[in-house]
Structure formats: structure tokens, C-alpha cells
Amino acid sequence: MRAYIIRRLLQSLIVLQAVLLIVFLMLQITGDPAAVLMPLDATQEDLARFRHDMGFDQPLHVQYYNFLFGHGRSKGVLRGDFGFSFRHEVPAMGLVWQHFPATVQLALTALLIALVLAIPAGILSATFRNTWLDHWSSVGSMFGQSMPEFWLGLMLIIVFAVKLRLLPTSGYEGPQYIILPALTAGLYATARIMRVMRSQMLEVLGEDYVRTARAKGLAETAVVVRHALKNASIPVVTIVGIELGFLLGGTVVVEAVFAWPGVGFLVVDAINNQDYPVVQAAVALLAFNFVGVNLAVDLLYAWLDPRISYR
Amino acid sequence: MPTDKVAAVAIGRPIDAADAPGRGSSDLRLAIRELLRRPPAVFGLFCCTVVVIWALMPGLFSPMDPLEQNLDRYLKAPGYVDALGRTYWLGTDQQGRDILSRVIWGSRVSLIVGITTVVVSGLIGVFLGVLAGYNGGWMDTVISRIIDTLFAVPFILLAMALIAILGPSLQNMILAIALRTWIIYARVVRGEALSLREREFIAGAKAMGCGTTRILLLYLLPNLMSSTIVVATLNLGRMIIIESSLSFLGLGIPPPTPTWGGMLAEGRAFLDTAWWIAFFPGVVLMLTVLGTNLLGDWLRDILDPRLKRLGD
């Protein structure tokens, strides 16, 4: 077990290092980061001076070293310094951190909604397999997985904000503002968690110990809740963790639709204004989060299911 | 259902080198019979066929020029008939363009981007997946860590940033998407190659003196085909959604070329006055993706029943 934990930690560290390399290479992909960062009307002299100031005239590995450990006034990304936002003239990482709580709030609410919808639906369609209830929830989950989430967002706005006038269209001013974005962001998670819950329940319901429980005369509800559900939920924990990771990094489009002031909204704005330090900081932060959540889930999984082997 | 089993055995994997000859037309007939027995798959095939035909011959089906503007027709509701007696079945947008014609022409970008990214990322993914899974060792370690890393980077953000830096165009969009999605194929293929290389027919081929290239091309790849096809079909819908999301965020093919995502973005400004602009392109988009998903589910059941549905 300890070897497993150490190996997973090392793997995560390597991945984090590689994420930073990708973030670094993002600007290098055109071959001339100065041209990407400077305004279009910059003169050749401006560009040359900027290149020199930023160290872009150095060999690539030196640049990467400087990027990690600092160069000139920069402290380096390892100490959280991704440079200044050109547009807002504040440290890029600080700006991203400011917007991070709104993203976490949205992701957690979306996950909560997804769990509340998907777990009972998955259990019910497995227990009532091949009934109308099962068929309709399969159809629902199939549609859910095929729908572009931003389109669902627009449709929810038309129905609940424009026609029924029940909820606000966009913004961030009170608890009612989170309902539509969270429903939208939770769409894929709901569909996927439901599918996993259903198939796990089906698998477990065919096990010997469930037959034994039934044979000793337990009521069906007791069999499902006490015997089946407990064992079926272990893989669900993993998928829930993965979904949380996706949600933390994947609410970009939803935030754009609802003008939800999270990291995604900030990044879309930054991209439109060529404010790349902010984009780099955001990609790094969200990727770090994903790695962290996944690591936590794997360790939790190992702890929950003692049958797992750690190779 | 005994025929199901026959179909699974006849078409399913593994195809050991020995039973390769004598397949073909009977498999096809079995597959069609299987298909007709599953209404969702038929529906999926129908949706996909319609969209493919639209994309191949949009001029034949679109009633009007998708770019023809006329401010007299500003935001007309579905079913509007103009002075010339032409009907706008799905209404018009803020520039008076016919929504139905734009939806039909919009299928082109979605399908081109969807299919090209699937092919490009599929080729990269299968190649690297085989390298990692068959060779193992340090190559496997390196490729697996690259996969982990790309998996952790938020997809849409990375694609958006790359497109913004490289400039929005069809080519850059495909590049930005394929740069990340190959990992889905690589993961599946790696796992398959890992287990296939321990099988007897590979050992037999080695014993007969086959070189690595020959083993990979003649023995390994044919056995990886069915799972790759299944993953590709299930992934096509995802790619179409990604394309439309990027277009929606303004990083797709620049206007006036009609794209479903772009139309949805335009419709967003008129949600309170003209719901149809944002409604219809989304419905067609959803049915297209639903179609590929249903087809993919069906292909998985007949080709590769062991493959679990993939996230992401």
C-alpha cells in the first residue's frame, strides 16, 4: 500500500512537470512568442527589445529554466509567478485565483445536482430492468450525452428566463443565479454517472450474496439498499471523482453562456484580448487541480476497496 | 437469441490469423439483419445518412442561398412566406438569411472537422498505442505519461488557446483538437496490444521468423481494428460537439461560412425575440451526435462487446 501511494505521488509529480512544459510550449508553437504577445502594430525595434527583455532570444532550454525558476524580475512559475496580465495589469495567477472560487462553486453544485438525479435513476432502472422506467431513463441518458451543453444552456434560458420569467439569464448576484448554469454543467456528469450506477447495480444484483439475501427472505428494498447498493457504489466513487475533475476544468463553455465569473469566463475574455499569461496560469491551475482530484480519488479507492491489488 | 451469439462469434474478435479467409458477404448480411432488429441503431443510421448527404450535396437540398441577406426578412418566424411566395420553414435570422438553408450548409464544417479529427487522431493514437503496448519498457512509460499529462490539461481551454495563437482556420482547428484526442485511441489500443502480444498466434508468428514490422502490420493491427472503429464512431459525436463549442466561442471557421456553433452564438443575442435561431441548429446538431452515438453503441455490441463506454 505504501509503495502504491509513493508510486502514484511520483507519477503525479511527473505529470505536473509535463503540464508546465505544455504551458511553456503553448507560446512557442508559432516560433516567435514575442509576436504573439506584442500588439500587432509593434515595430521591429520594439519586438527586438521585448524579445531580449523577456529572454526569448535565449536557447529554448534556457528559456524553460527561466520560466520555471525565474528570470529578471520574474520569480518563475514554480513560485506561482506567471507574469502580469497585460489587460488588467495585475499578476496573472492572482487574477485566476480570484475567479477560481466561482468555478469551484459551479462545479460542486453541478456535481451535486448530477448525483441527486443520477444515483436514484441508475438504481431504479437497474431494479426495474426492462420496464418503461428503465427504457425512458436510457433514452434520457442517451439524449443527455448527445446534447451540446451550451445549447442546453440556451434552451434553459429561453424556457426558464425568457418565457416563464422564473430565473435570471446570467450573472452572479444571488443563489438563484447558479441554478441554470449548474443544471447545464451537470448534464454529461448526470448521464454518465447514471449509466455507471445502472450497470454496477445490474452486476451486483446478479451476485451470489444478493441471491442469498433474497433466499433468506429479506424484503427487496432491504436487498437493494443494504446489500447491493453498498457494493455497487465503489466504482461510482471513481467516476464521480473523474467527473469532478472534468467539471473543474470543463465549465468553460457554460461559464461563457451564463457570464458566470469563473476561470473559464476569465480565460475566454483573456483569449479574445491576447492576454496569454492569464491563459497559461489558468491552464496550469486547472490541470494541477485535475491531477490532485484524480490522485485523491485513486487513494480513496484503494482505501475503500481492499480487494484491489497494487501491482 | 442464438443469432446474436452467431453474429458475435462470426464478426467479433479475436480473429486469429487462421480463420481470416472465407468471411465477407455473409458477415455483412448478418450485420444488416442485426441492425434491422435494433430500432435505435436504424434511427442512428438514418440521422447520420441524412447529414452526410446534406454535407455532400447541400445545394440540392437547401431551398435558398445560405448567405443571401435581406433586411426585409429580419427575424421572421418559422413558416414565413415572402413576397415571391418562398417559404422559410425554419424562419430567418437577424440578416434575413434562411435558417433551414444555413443548417443544411452548416453540416459541412461539422462533418469535415469531425471526420478529419477522428482520422488524424485515430492514426496518431493507434500508432503510439501500439508502440507503447507492444514494446512496453521505457517507450510505454514515456507514452503513458504523455497520455496522463494531456488528459489532465483542460481540453477546450488548450484547444482555444492554440487556435487563438495560431489563428482561426479549418486546419488549425483540426490540429488543435487532434493534438489532444489521440490519447483516447492510444489508451484503448495500448491495452489491447498489451494483452494481444501474449497470445499464441503472435508467439507463433515470432517462432516462424516474422519481423516486428510484419507482426505489427499483419497480426496485431487487424485485431485492433474493431475496437478502433468502435472508439472512432463513439468519438465522432464528441468531436462534432467540440467543433461547435469552439465555433460558439468565436474560435471556429470565421463568418460568413455557416456553422452550427456559429449560428447558435448569433442566436444567443435574440433568445427573447427569435428563439428559432438558437433552437434549430442545436436540434440538428443533437440529432447528428445522437445518430453517431447510437451507431457506435450498435457497432460496439456486434464488434467488440467487451469494450466499455469511454468517458471524455
Q: Choose the closest CB to A250 out of B156, B237, B279.
A: B156
Low-confidence ranges of chain B (pLDDT < 50): 1-22, 308-312
Q: Would you say B129 and B188 are in contact if contact means Cβ atoms under 8 Å apart?
A: yes
pLDDT of residue B303: 78
Chain B CB contacts of A158 below 8 Å: 271, 275, 278-279
Half-sphere exposure of B168 (CA within 13 A, CB side): 15
CB atoms within 10 A of CB B87: 14
- Interface check for B125 against chain A (CB to CB < 8 A): the answer is no
pLDDT of residue A171: 77
Quickly list DSSP for A260-301.
--SHHHHHHHHHHTT-HHHHHHHHHHHHHHHHHHHHHHHHHH
* Mutant choice from B166, B175, B241 vs A, greatest count of A C-beta within 10 A: B241
For residues A244, A247, A250, A255, the Cα torsion angle rounded to the nearest 10 degrees is -160
Round to whole Å and give the CA distance between B228 and B235: 10
Q: Choose the closest CB to A283 out of B153, B272, B282.
A: B153
pLDDT of residue B20: 44
pLDDT of residue B143: 93
pLDDT of residue B290: 94
CB neighbour class for B174 (10 Å; exposed up to 12, middle 13-18, buried from 19): buried
Give contacts of A 54-93 with B, CB under 8 A.
none
Cβ–Cβ below 8 Å for A257 and B289? no
Identify any residues that bridge with B87 across adjacent strands, giving them in sequence order. B81
Chain B CB contacts of A154 below 8 Å: 264, 267-268, 271, 278, 282
- Interface check for A143 against chain B (CB to CB < 8 A): the answer is yes
Round to whole Å and give the CA distance between A223 and B133: 42
Cβ–Cβ below 8 Å for B160 and A150? no
Question: Could you give the 3-state DSSP secondary structure of residue A38?
Answer: coil
* Residue pairs between chains A and B whose CB atoms are closer than 8 Å: 141
Nearest to B125 by CA among B295, B312, B296, B293: B312
Cβ–Cβ below 8 Å for A283 and B161? yes
Cβ–Cβ below 8 Å for A274 and B164? yes
Nearest to A169 by CA among A182, A184, A154, A183: A154
Q: How far A218 CA lies from chain B's nearest CA (Å)?
A: 33
Q: How far A300 CA lies from chain B's nearest CA (Å)?
A: 19
Chain A CB contacts of B153 below 8 Å: 19, 22, 249, 283, 286-287, 290
List % helix, strand, coil for chain A (3-state, nearest 5).
75, 0, 25
- Phi (first) and psi of residue B87, to 5 degrees: -95, 135
- Interface check for A266 against chain B (CB to CB < 8 A): the answer is no
Cis amide leading into B39 (omega within 30):
no
- Interface check for B236 against chain A (CB to CB < 8 A): the answer is no
- Interface check for B242 against chain A (CB to CB < 8 A): the answer is no
- Phi (first) and psi of residue B81, to 5 degrees: -115, 125
Q: How far A15 CA lies from chain B's nearest CA (Å)?
A: 5
Residues 6+ apart with CB under 8 A from A31: none
Region at A26 (left for phi over 0; alpha for psi -120 to 50; beta for the rest): alpha
Q: How far B145 CA lies from chain A's nearest CA (Å)?
A: 7
CB neighbour class for A291 (10 Å; exposed up to 12, middle 13-18, buried from 19): buried
Identify any residues that bridge with B284 across adjacent strands, giving them in sequence order. none
Q: Choose the closest CB to A18 out of B145, B272, B311.
A: B145
pLDDT of residue B309: 45
Cβ–Cβ below 8 Å for B165 and A36? yes
Half-sphere exposure of B46 (CA within 13 A, CB side): 8
- Interface check for A195 against chain B (CB to CB < 8 A): the answer is yes
* Mutant choice from B150, B165, B233 vs A, greatest count of A C-beta within 10 A: B165
**pLDDT tens profile A65-99:** 888 887 777 788 888 888 888 778 888 899 999 99
Half-sphere exposure of A285 (CA within 13 A, CB side): 27
CA terminus-to-terminus distance, chain A: 10
Cβ–Cβ below 8 Å for A19 and B268? no
DSSP state of B307: P
Helix (H) or strand (E) holding A144: helix A132-146
Cβ–Cβ below 8 Å for B309 and A11? no
pLDDT digits (tens), chain A, 311 positions = 788 889 889 989 999 999 999 988 888 877 777 777 777 777 888 888 888 877 777 888 888 888 888 777 778 888 888 888 877 888 889 999 999 999 999 999 999 999 999 999 999 998 888 888 888 888 888 888 899 989 999 999 999 988 888 888 777 777 888 889 999 999 888 998 998 898 888 888 888 888 888 888 888 888 888 888 888 887 788 788 888 888 887 788 899 999 899 999 999 999 888 888 899 999 999 989 888 888 888 888 777 776 665 54
CB neighbour class for A61 (10 Å; exposed up to 12, middle 13-18, buried from 19): exposed
pTM, two decimals, is: 0.86
- Interface check for A279 against chain B (CB to CB < 8 A): the answer is yes
- Interface check for A258 against chain B (CB to CB < 8 A): the answer is no
- Pairing type for strands B87-88 and B80-81 reads antiparallel
Round to whole Å and give the CA distance between B154 and A247: 10
Quickly list DSSP for B247-262.
HHTT-SSPTTS--HHH
**pLDDT tens profile B272-298:** 888 899 999 999 999 999 999 998 888
CB atoms within 10 A of CB A47: 16
- Interface check for B23 against chain A (CB to CB < 8 A): the answer is no
